[in-house]
Structure 1
Amino acid sequence: MSDHTHGDSHHHDNHDHGSLKSYAIGFILSVILTAIPFWLVMTKAITNSGTMGLVLLAFAAVQVVVHMVYFLHMNTKSEGGWNMMALIFTIMIVGIAMAGSLWVMYHMNHNMMPDLMPEYMHTKTAP
């Protein structure tokens, strides 16, 4: 037999859980924020690939915020602000990792000097 009785409840009543209305709003926003980028890509409404990438990233960022607010119930008051601190810390660590990776890749490309590679290859093949 287990030590837990069947009357024990594992959820706390002092937290605000979403209502049907908030879940419906979150679902509708999620569908819209998925359908618009899908339409943009399928119809090739934006011809510049760089602009298309930025627009898609913007929609993705808004979608993440919608999910965090409407489904994960994250705000500055939840868990005494610790959830928001953890999110900020995670964003900082991911940003540092991405910036460092891009910096290393840029400098590797710069140090390899791809523009001078044909000249280098020409001098190595001559006896």
Structure 2
Amino acid sequence: MAHTQSLHEEEAHGSLSGYLAGFVLAVLLTAGSFGLVMRGALPPQSAMIALAVLAFAQIVVHLVFFLHLNTSSGQRWNVMALCYTAVASIILIGGTVWVMHNVSMNMMSR
């Protein structure tokens, strides 16, 4: 009988401690965002920047701890797909904001 290799051998699977660490970090980041808004500790502009940083950290926690995205050779295509998605999203959102800003500026009465 021939020995067959599993297609999932190269993939990293999480451990209970990894999932718990990810869960605790996600809860702390969520609580921090909620507390930041509810207390009104920062001015609106600073609060938006702080929330964006916390949201980015939350994304990284989910990608690393729950989706097991890393820099190993087995994950190369997943990382490339994530980078393409991020660039496409930035172009789409940035283009939309740019167009809406220009429409707003052109529609203002003089």
TM (normalized to structure 1)? Answer: 0.75
For the pair shown, the structure with the greater C-alpha radius of gyration is 1
User: 1:26 deviation in Å?
Assistant: 0.6
User: 1:110 deviation in Å?
Assistant: 1.6
Match of 1:3 in 2: none
Q: What amino acid is aligned across from residue 43 of structure 1 in structure 2?
A: R
Give the one of 6, 9, 13 matched to 1:13: 9
Q: What secondary structure, in the 3-state scheme, does the structure 2 residue paired with 1:62 have?
A: helix
User: 1:79 deviation in Å?
Assistant: 3.3
User: 1:63 deviation in Å?
Assistant: 0.3
Q: Which ranges of structure 1 fall in alignment gaps of 5 or more residues?
A: 1-9, 117-127
User: 1:75 deviation in Å?
Assistant: 1.1
Deviation larger for 71-80 or 17-26: 71-80
Q: Which ranges of structure 2 fall in alignment gaps of 5 or more residues?
A: 1-5
Q: What is the CA–CA distance in structure 1 between the aligned matches of 2:49 and 2:73, rounded to whole Å?
A: 31
Match of 2:26 in 1: 30
Q: Matched residues, percent identical?
A: 43
Q: What is the CA–CA distance in structure 1 between the aligned matches of 2:71 and 2:104, rounded to whole Å?
A: 42
Q: Does 1:86 align with 2:81?
A: yes
Q: What secondary structure, in the 3-state scheme, does the structure 1 residue paired with 2:81 have?
A: helix
- Please tell me whether the aligned partners of residues 25 and 61 of structure 2 are also in contact (alpha carbons under 8 angstroms): yes
Deviation larger for 12-21 or 32-41: 12-21
Q: What is the CA–CA distance in structure 2 between the aligned matches of 1:91 and 1:12, rounded to whole Å?
A: 26
Q: What secondary structure, in the 3-state scheme, does the structure 2 residue paired with 1:74 have?
A: coil
TM (normalized to structure 2)? Answer: 0.86
